[in-house]
Amino acid sequence: MEGDMPSRWKLQGQALVLDCPIFQVYAKQFEHPIDHRHGTFYTIEANDWVQVIAVTPEQQLILVKQFRFGTQEFSLEPPGGIMDTGEDPLHAAARELREETGYVGHPGRELLSLSPNPAMMNNRLHIVLIEQCRRIDTQHLDPNEEITDTLVSPEDCRRYIAEGQINHGIAALSLLVYFFEKNGF
C-alpha cells in the first residue's frame, strides 16, 4: 500500500498576491519530489472558524439569519465566525454566541474540527456544542453585521436542511454533525 501513496510535493517559494482583512491569497510554487513536475497553486490563508450549535433547556436550536455578501442572499445558520489569532475554539464559540445573540450556556464541547477546503485553504472549522443556553444580554455586533436570531426545533432544523432553506454548506455540515452526535451514526 505504501507504494500507492501520493507524494508530498515540496514548497519551493511563495508570494503574497492579495492581503484582505480576513484572509490572504498566496501564489505557491510546488515541485514533485520524484518526477520534478512543478506548478503554481493559489491558496487562501485565514484564521480558523467556529460554528456554535447552541441548544436551549427546551432543546431548541438557536439559529441566526443574516445577509451574506457572497451569495447576496439571506442565510439561516448557527452563530459563529472567525476566531481571533491564538483563540481557543471553546472561548471563541462562547464569545460569538453572546455577541450575535446575547445567549450564554454551559461550557462548550468541541464536536469536531475539520478542514473546510484543504484544496486551497489552510484553516480549520471547529464545531462546538453549547447547551442550556439562555439569553442574558443584548447583541454586540460588528459594524457591518445585522443579525436576527430565532429558536428552531430539531425537527424543523432537519427539514430546513433537507428543503434547502439552510443552504450554507458549513452551517448544514455543523448541524448534521450535531444530529449525528446526538443520535449516533
User: Bridge partners of 130?
Assistant: 54
Looking at the structure, tell me whether residues 131 and 178 fall in a common domain.
yes
Q: What is the DSSP string of 2-60?
A: GGGSPP-PEEEEEEEEEE-SS-EEEEEEEE-TTT--EEEEEEEE---EEEEEEE-TT-P
Looking at the structure, tell me whether residues 40 and 61 fall in a common domain.
no
Residue ending a domain, among 10, 30, 45, is 45
Could you tell me whether strands 49-55 and 61-68 are parallel, antiparallel, or unpaired per DSSP bridges?
antiparallel
pTM over 0.85: yes
pLDDT value at position 1? 43
In the chain the first and final C-alpha atoms are separated, in Å, by 28
Looking at the structure, tell me whether residues 25 and 90 fall in a common domain.
no
Q: Residue 20: which domain range?
A: 2-45
pLDDT value at position 171? 97
Per the CB < 8 A criterion, the answer to whether 12 and 30 are in contact is yes
| Spans of the chain, pLDDT less than 70 | 1-3, 185
Looking at the structure, tell me whether residues 40 and 79 fall in a common domain.
no
Half-sphere exposure of 13 (CA within 13 A, CB side): 3
pLDDT value at position 3? 59
Looking at the structure, tell me whether residues 64 and 153 fall in a common domain.
yes
Looking at the structure, tell me whether residues 83 and 126 fall in a common domain.
yes
- How many domains, in total, are found in the chain? 2
